[in-house]
Amino acid sequence: MAKPKNAFYAQSGGVTSVINASACGVIETARKHKDKIGKLYAGRNGIIGALTEDLIDTGKESKKDIAALRYTPSGAFGSCRYKLKGLDQNKAEYERLVEVFKAHNIGYFFYNGGGDSADTCLKVSQIAQTMGYPLQAIHVPKTVDNDLPITDCCPGFGSVAKYIAVSAREASFDVASMCKTSTKVFVMEVMGRHAGWIAAAGGMASSADCELPIVILFPEIEFNQEKFLAKVDHMVKKHGYCSVIVSEGVKDADGKFLAESGLKDAFGHAQLGGAAPVVANMVKDALGYKYHWAVADYLQRAARHIASRTDVEQAYALGKAAVELALDGRTAVMPTIVRKSDSPYKWRLGVAKLKDVANVEKKMPRSFISRDGFGITPQCRTYLQPLIAGEDYPPYKDGLPAYVRLKNASVAKKLKGEFKI
Amino acid sequence: MAKPKNAFYAQSGGVTSVINASACGVIETARKHKDKIGKLYAGRNGIIGALTEDLIDTGKESKKDIAALRYTPSGAFGSCRYKLKGLDQNKAEYERLVEVFKAHNIGYFFYNGGGDSADTCLKVSQIAQTMGYPLQAIHVPKTVDNDLPITDCCPGFGSVAKYIAVSAREASFDVASMCKTSTKVFVMEVMGRHAGWIAAAGGMASSADCELPIVILFPEIEFNQEKFLAKVDHMVKKHGYCSVIVSEGVKDADGKFLAESGLKDAFGHAQLGGAAPVVANMVKDALGYKYHWAVADYLQRAARHIASRTDVEQAYALGKAAVELALDGRTAVMPTIVRKSDSPYKWRLGVAKLKDVANVEKKMPRSFISRDGFGITPQCRTYLQPLIAGEDYPPYKDGLPAYVRLKNASVAKKLKGEFKI
Q: Is the dihedral of CA B91, B97, B100, B105 positive or negative?
A: negative
CATH number of this structure's domain A157-302: 3.40.50.460
A83 in Cβ contact with A111 (< 8 Å): no
Architecture of domain A5-143+304-360+391-401: 3-Layer(aba) Sandwich (3.40)
CA B37/CA A137 separation, integer angstroms: 73
> Angle CA(A173)–CA(A179)–CA(A185) in degrees, nearest 5?
80
Count CB pairs under 8 A between chains A and B.
254
User: Residues near B304 by Cβ (< 8 Å), separated by ≥ 6?
Assistant: A170, B17, B18, B71, B72, B73, B159, B394, B401, B403
Say whether pLDDT at A386 is over 60: yes
Check if B151 contacts A (Cβ < 8 Å). no
CA A29/CA A31 separation, integer angstroms: 5
Query: What's residue B263's pLDDT?
Result: 55
User: Residues near B197 by Cβ (< 8 Å), separated by ≥ 6?
Assistant: B145, B146, B147, B157, B161, B364
B91 in Cβ contact with B126 (< 8 Å): no
Type and span of the H or E element at A350: strand A346-353
CATH 3.40.50.460 residue window(s) in chain A = 157-302
Say whether pLDDT at A37 is over 60: yes
If one compares A135 and B193, the residue with the highest pLDDT of the two is A135
Query: From its phi and psi, is residue A241 left (phi > 0), alpha (psi between -120 and 50) or beta?
Result: beta
What's the mean pLDDT in A13-37?
Answer: 97
Q: A209 an active-site residue?
A: no
pLDDT for A272-292, tens place per residue?
A: 568 999 999 899 999 999 999
Quick check: A401 and B207 CB within 8 A? no
A22 alpha carbon, distance to own chain's centre:
12
Say whether pLDDT at A324 is over 80: yes
CA A213/CA A203 separation, integer angstroms: 9
Quick check: A294 and B292 CB within 8 A? no
Q: How many CB atoms lie within 10 A of CB B310?
A: 25
Mean pLDDT of chain A: 94
- Closest residue, chain A, to B163 (C-alpha): A400
* Best to test chain B binding among A52, A206, A297, A381 (most B CBs inside 10 Å): A297
* Best to test chain B binding among A19, A167, A174 (most B CBs inside 10 Å): A174
A319 in Cβ contact with A140 (< 8 Å): yes
* Best to test chain A binding among B65, B84, B177 (most A CBs inside 10 Å): B177
Please identify among residues 374-403 of chain B the ones whose CB lies closer than 8 Å to any CB of chain A: 385, 388-391, 393, 396-401, 403
Cis status of the peptide bond prior to B344, with omega within 30 of 0: yes
Quick check: A393 and B391 CB within 8 A? yes
Enzyme catalytic residues of B: 145
Architecture of domain B5-142+304-358+391-401: 3-Layer(aba) Sandwich (3.40)
B148 in Cβ contact with B362 (< 8 Å): yes
Check if B314 contacts A (Cβ < 8 Å). no
Distances (CA, A) of A349 to A10, A25, A150, A356, B268: 21, 14, 12, 17, 56
pLDDT for A388-410, tens place per residue?
A: 999 999 999 999 999 999 999 99
Quick check: B292 and A298 CB within 8 A? yes
Quick check: A293 and B295 CB within 8 A? yes
Cis status of the peptide bond prior to A277, with omega within 30 of 0: no
List per-block mean pLDDT (blocks of 10 residues) for chain B, which spans 421 residues: 90 97 98 98 97 97 98 97 84 92 98 95 94 96 96 98 98 97 96 94 97 97 97 98 96 88 53 80 94 96 98 98 98 98 97 94 95 98 98 98 98 90 79
Bridge partners, A141 (sequence order): A113
* CB burial of residue B417 (10 Å; 0-12, 13-18, 19+): exposed
Please, which pLDDT band fits residue A264 given cuts at 50, 70 and 90? low
Say whether pLDDT at A208 is over 80: yes
Q: Which positions in chain A touch B170 (Cβ < 8 Å)?
A: 17, 73-74, 298-299, 302-305, 401, 403
If one compares B421 and A199, the residue with the highest pLDDT of the two is A199
Quick check: B175 and A298 CB within 8 A? yes
Nearest to A156 by CA among A341, A3, A355, A22: A22
Query: What's residue B88's pLDDT?
Result: 84
Q: Judge if ipTM > 0.85.
A: yes
Q: How many CB atoms lie within 10 A of CB B211?
A: 11
Q: Which positions in chain B touch A72 (Cβ < 8 Å)?
A: 173
